[in-house]
Chains A and B, each alone.
Chain A
Amino acid sequence: MIGLEHILFISTALFFLGIYGFLTRRNLITMLMSVELVLNSVNLNFIAFHKYLWPSGMDGVFFTVFVIAIAAAEAAVAIAIIINLYKTHRSILVDTAEELKY
């Protein structure tokens, strides 16, 4: 029988894969992709908790929907920023945008 722990294992693994990607990738678009993975792991958690722990309320489902909506907005803004950065720096490597140091 598949229980809550199985799904939580998937979501945790997905979360830390996203973190690993975020920390190692040097291209901003791939970093964005890693962030999407992190967001999805959270969604999965919400659904799992809703299904197995508290099915009477609908909050888990709604949060998932809202997170998806916010993720879409975030992706749009992030890509706009990335494209702007590409215009000014001719590169989207994260090391090229280091002006904010010290």
Chain B
Amino acid sequence: MDAATIIFYLLAAMTLGSALLAVTSRQIFRSAIYLLFSLIGIAGIYFWLDYAFIAAVQIVVYVGGIVVLIIFSIFLTQQAGEDLPKPKWTQQLFAALAAFCGFALVLVQILQYGFTEVTQTGTAEEDRIGRLMLSTGEGGMAFPFELVSVLLLAAMIGCIVIAMRKSSNESSAIES
């Protein structure tokens, strides 16, 4: 068992363990921190797979952006130190059952399928990503790239509209 394998198992354990804690912890703030670790673990797996660019993006956007955003919203909506309400046991049971069944089904399929792996495993060089991102030729991604940028713009405007202060009579109508 070489070092790479050990590192992989460590990363996998970290990712799955903190993900499990993130979805079960009764304290929301801790839950967010576990999520953070899980995401970092996934970034580690990207590093391990030799996809440094994706790992960087994962760290910057998820860890630096989304999780921070989530933590902010927790601060805005939650009283500190308050436990999350306990889910109903029937709900827990059914959810666990459904998740386990789905997991088993997918896993069985993966193991039965018999993937034929390539001998020369791939990686992603940053210059190739950059070129193709703006290329319109074979394998070029300029159009989806623009599309995503429009989507981000729309999301931004949408956030502003949703979060904007309503005029007084409108908000009173909603409250009533």
Contact = CB atoms under 8 A, between A and B. Distances in A.
A54 B171 CA distance: 53
B110 A16 contact: no
B155 to A, nearest CB: 4
Contact of A55 (B32, B87, B110, B122): B122
Given A4-B115, A33-B22, A68-B62, A40 B39 contact: yes
Given A20-B23, A66-B144, A40 B107 contact: no
Contact of A27 (B84, B102, B120): B84
Contacts, number: 229
A27 B100 CA distance: 22
B95 A33 contact: no
A74 B124 CA distance: 26
Interface string A57-78: 1110110111011111111110
B57 A68 contact: yes
A36 B152 CA distance: 17
A52 B120 CA distance: 8
B37 to A, nearest CB: 12
A64 to B, nearest CB: 6
Nearest to B114: A5
Contacts of B85: 26-27, 93
Contacts of B167: none
Nearest to A52: B117
Contacts of B124: 50, 58, 61
Contact of B66 (A12, A27, A61, A71): A71
6 contacts: A24-B23, A55-B118, A69-B148, A71-B61, A72-B65, A83-B77
Given A12-B107, A66-B148, A75-B65, 19 more contacts: A2-B5, A10-B45, A14-B15, A17-B20, A18-B19, A26-B85, A27-B28, A27-B84, A30-B31, A33-B35, A52-B115, A52-B122, A59-B139, A61-B53, A61-B54, A61-B129, A75-B69, A86-B77, A92-B78
